[in-house]
A and B are shown apart, each in its own frame.
Chain A
Amino acid sequence: MRWHESILEYKRGRYLKATLVLTAAAIAVYAWHEPPGHVKPNGGTWLGYTLGTIAALLIVWLMLLGLRKRRYRSSAGSLQGWTSAHIYLGTSLIVLASLHCGFEFGWNVHTLAYMLMLIVIVSGFFGVYAYLRYPELMTANMGAESLDTILPKIAELDRKCVQLALDLPDEINAIVAKSTRSGPRENTKPGRPRWRLPGSGQRYTARDAVKAISRVGAKFKGEQAVQNGKLLAEMTRKSVLVDQVRRDMRLRAKLRGWLFVHIPLSFALLAALTAHIVSEFFFW
């Protein structure tokens, strides 16, 4: 056995094969199937109902992954297997649902369910990419460090910079103050972050501070220049660490961010699917 096996290659692509068989069979039956009465293929034929039932059950099962992954003691297949099947069978839904509806779309709850399903699946594709790519990048970025080791270092550098700036002109001091400030939430209680739109916060990065300090400090002489040099060195060290942390955060956000689309929309899909099924039979 290999040391590491990607979820895509789980058991030599067992679920990839299963998915290919399933979709190929569905396509073949769809091509062979002639709806009675020469109407266009639709969800109301026996094939439509069959594909619809399979797809609906699949959606419910795919959503059960959320439960399975929390059941650490479950013996219902390995989580890796579940995830591999989740990815492949989830992808097969694109084919199954499209054949189910016979490519009929409109401004209604039925197409809403279809569109939600597509968004969920595409966000899932991003998730697969993220899980295969980002952990590697995160390791490369942080090396032996971790947030737990790096954040105290930044705090320490902050403290040093503030100290060094005390003897420097107000302009420099202001730069240091700005770069060590906790950003837009300075006046809010810790632990209660507010909603913030991307780019709306007045962000002053350590890198900005480095540039500003060296620009302002260029005209300093003597002792002041020496002091400023020390500050610049510390601020540069900080900016390197901050960049590292930011990159780590960015990767973490990307690694988990797609779930904010994938999961809530899959519940939206579940609701739309319920409405779709009930409405079909309500107005039979």
Chain B
Amino acid sequence: MILVTYITAGARGQVQREQRRLMGTSFSVGRGTKAQVQLPDGRVKLDHAHILVADTGVTIVADAGEIKAKGKTVKVAALVPGEDVEVGPYLLHVESAPSGLDLALTVTLAKPRISRSRKALLQVFLSLPRLSKRRLSYLLFFTIIIAFLVLPSLPDLEKKMTLPMDGKQRGMMQEMSTLLGGGFSQTWKPGPLSPSHQLFGDSCRTCHQIPFVPVRDAACLDCHKTLKDHVERWKLSGSRGLAFLETRCTECHSEHNGLPIAPRAQERCADCHRDIKSVALQARSENASDFRTGHPQFRLSLLDADHPDVLKRVRQGKPTPPDMVEHSNLKFNHALHLNPAGLRDPEGRRDASGMHDSQGNRTVLKCASCHTPEENGRFMAPVSMEKHCRQCHSLAFEPAVTKRQVPHGNEELVATTLREFYARLALGDTPPDINPPSDMSRVRPGAVLTYEDRQRVLKLAQQKADRVLNELYETRGVCVTCHTVQRIDSAAGWRVAPVKIAKTWLPHAMFRHADHATQSCTSCHDVRDSKRAEDIAMPSINRCRECHVGAQPQLDKVTSECALCHSFHSGHEAWQGAPKGQKRAEAK
């Protein structure tokens, strides 16, 4: 027989004891009501263990459950007075048994279940992590402020800070802030740089030199040193003129669009040029707003060969203004030279060059026979006597005597050449290819001349030379075919009027002949009926408008904003033409 004492906590925490005597030698231990030693807790098995009373002593044997004695899991434990055995959450303590009893046990619930308060229960359902909106807000706010505001501005902050550091530390600090700031300030970059500025890479501070100060013109001029003013400052007038003066580079050149930085927008030009007097009262240019709808006639720059320092600008118009003539001091008849039936050619049939169509001994000239483009593609190369005229226009001074010609372009050299030639003949030194002229007295070869003889002979030679010079300049009309000549009192004897031919008529327009190679020459410069060198064969704006329209695109027409022909920053220098490749790159 054994005695089991259950110790439980009452409703108010007081200790309650309940004793049970059990008969037999084997007692089941389990949670069920059928167990002899009932341990009513879910953590105990139904057939957890059993207690055996034998002659050798009382033991507890584990069945479905687990028992622990002295902290170790055991299969069998002896129930000796003073011993403790754990069965699930229960503690079985062996007391010394009163006589007549085999065993006295006290049973206590050592590990009660955590009481299920409402709060604990709520947690079962509200298994939300400890997420605080406020904490999260702070976290995100300061992370973003640091990453996107503090770090990018670090290099500038670092300059403002006065930290007690020695030189080396300061250097390290600077290096670090530059590195960090450079990287993080990329997050400020609103868009890709224009192609021409991409060489700056990540260094924002190349242009953005001072915090909170808009990009200064000085930053641009650090590199763009040779830029010219668009217009001289004194020419500007009024408030709009002043406003123009204060225009900053970045107002026209906007960056970070990934587009070319040069503005093509003609609205910007038209802002002033639509009413140019409002900006520059003294302006002599006329209003312009669009090539098709609002552009004045061209103003040609005219030279005067007799007054080379004066450049006269004459506006085209109908009728043609009387002073729209070229004073080149040259005589030239385009109509004659372009005779479709050809020109007499003293050298007869020539067809090697390909520039000449040859029929018999007549040569048919084309524009390109004389006018070839210059290398930069803008201008036509100057026509030269040597290359283009001399083949037909011989400068032979006495064809019956010699094929020799006088040099071109220097009156003194012409006179000298003749004097030397005839003096040589007079002195009896006749070159083999010369047929000596009959009207000249000659010295017998081998004769010894006295000083007086020589003077006499040379004087005769001089007279002959002067006669031939007169023929050349005047009677035979060799020079006057093309030039205006004048007798003067000098060693040369004659003066050819200085020649000045316009190289460009519109020095500020960015016109390239090479870009217009698809057109025939005469479609713009019709000289087939021109008989005088004074004629100017420049096309009018209407001719240009046959192909070019303004900013508003049109089918089969070239859209032409101001910047197609005009350059803002070239100042008053004539445009010299950019190499072809460069222009293409800009247009991209």
A residues near B, CB below 8 A?
36-40, 42-44, 104, 106-110, 112, 147-148, 151-152, 154-155, 158, 162-163, 165-170, 173, 176-177, 180, 182-185, 190-191, 193-196, 201, 245-246, 249, 253, 259-260, 263-268, 270-272, 274-275, 278-279, 281-284
Contact = CB atoms under 8 A, between A and B. Distances in A.
Interface of B: 31-34, 40-43, 45-46, 64, 114, 116-131, 133, 136-145, 148-149, 152-153, 156, 185-192, 204, 208, 211-215, 251-252, 254, 257, 259, 263-265, 267-268
B133 A264 contact: yes
Chain A interface SS verdict (over half): helix
Contacts of A266: 137
A216 B189 CA distance: 68
Given A38-B265, A246-B125, A267 B138 contact: yes
A193 B130 contact: yes
Contact of A282 (B43, B131, B211): B211
B153 A282 contact: yes
Given A194-B129, A267-B141, A282-B153, 5 more contacts: A36-B268, A109-B148, A193-B129, A263-B133, A283-B204
Contact of A37 (B126, B214, B215, B254): B254
8 contacts: A167-B34, A182-B123, A182-B124, A260-B133, A264-B137, A267-B138, A279-B188, A283-B208
Nearest to A163: B40
Contacts, number: 183
Contacts of A158: 116
**Among B120, B136, B137: residue with most chain A CB under 10 A:** B137
A246 B121 CA distance: 12
Contact of A151 (B121, B208, B252): B121
Chain B interface SS verdict (over half): loop
A278 B149 contact: yes
A37 B208 contact: no
A37 B130 contact: no
Contact of A166 (B40, B186, B192): B40
A165 to B, nearest CB: 6
Contacts of A245: 125
A245 B43 CA distance: 27
A112 B148 contact: yes
A37 B551 CA distance: 13
B129 A38 contact: no
Contacts of B116: 155, 158, 182
Contacts of B120: 182, 190
A121 B204 CA distance: 33
Contact of A106 (B43, B64, B190): B190
Contact of A271 (B41, B145, B153): B145
A37 B265 contact: yes
A170 B45 contact: yes
